Amino acid sequence: MTDTAARAGHDWIVPVWDAPPHVHALSTSRNGGVSVGARASLDLGAATPAQDAARAGVLENRRRLAQFLPATPVWLSQVHAADVVRVAPANLAHLLSSPPTADAAVTRAPGIVLGVRSADCLPVLFADRAGTVVGAAHAGWRGLAAGVLEATLCAMNVPPREIVAWLGPAIGPQKFEVGSDVFAAFCGPDPGAATCFALHRDGPRLAADRDGPRLAADRDEKWLADLYALARRRLGRAGISAVAGGGHCTMTEASRFFSFRRDRDTGRMATLIWLGAGA
């Protein structure tokens, strides 16, 4: 983050990862903007950009952010699924004017800024070690279970061993309470994913068998889910070994992050990535 950004009140996170120097990225916080009330202050817009049309504060916040970017970000209309859009100079103007329905984007073109918004869901950034392609994904539990990370990797079309990933701020493992539907969505296809859950209350018994743990209870159990661990597991199973980031909790770090679980009426942070000169 530049000194100018810090003086403007921005306490953004700049990823520390193994991406090449001409790959640029940042994750904003809730600070340094003009929005008021529950969305104070750097609200960068709802999951569906059309909802922002009447929000002067969001537009001003995006203008302030744009001062530190090489171009207007390509925003997505996020729906918690696994669709990925490929952004190139040929379709850039259309995507800027009509945000695509997708939860991830990739590009090989320098100067194109990809952006995802979140307020508890997990933003994930990708780059190949050669710095020829980058990606950004919005991974709530539904998108994560649906395979949004794997779909992003597929769209990058680079051997997994050549890709590095960074996990942005999300709800932490001590606060993300979920039900048996979430447990089953991950542990049904992958029993070993049970290590990413902690029994919280009214919980089930885990019956051990030769294939790993399996669910053995009614449907009223509650778990604490570790989004960071689930993402790392899925990335690892996809062949990605270099995964950095994680460790924040948007729900408990109220002075720095928006959180839908904590406040319901809340703003959104943005996590952005782009290829600079040298790509």
pLDDT category at 204 given cuts 50, 70, 90 is very low
The CA-based diameter of the chain, rounded to the nearest angstrom, is: 58
> How does pLDDT run across 56-87, given as a tens digit for each residue?
899 999 999 999 999 999 999 999 999 999 99
pLDDT at 277: 85
Q: 66 and 161, same structural domain? A: yes
Q: Is residue 99 part of a domain?
A: yes
The whole-angstrom separation of Cα 146 and Cα 169 is 20
Q: 191 and 95, same structural domain? A: no
| CATH code of residue 60 | 3.60.140.10
Q: Is residue 58 part of a domain?
A: yes
Bridge-based pairing state of the strands 205-209 and 212-216: antiparallel
- Higher pLDDT: 182 or 55? It is 182
Instruction: Report the length, in residues, of the chain.
Output: 279
Phi, psi torsion values for 87, nearest 5 degrees: -105, 130
Average pLDDT over residues 217-238: 90
Q: 147 and 29, same structural domain? A: yes
Total structural domains within the chain = 2
Domain that holds residue 126: 3-171+239-275
The residues pairing with 205 across neighbouring beta strands, listed in sequence order, are 216
Tokens 């817009």 appear where?
A: 45
Q: 102 and 81, same structural domain? A: yes
Token digits of residue 163: 């890709």
Q: 164 and 27, same structural domain? A: yes
Q: Is residue 262 part of a domain?
A: yes
Q: 129 and 110, same structural domain? A: yes
Q: Is residue 227 part of a domain?
A: no
Q: 128 and 38, same structural domain? A: yes
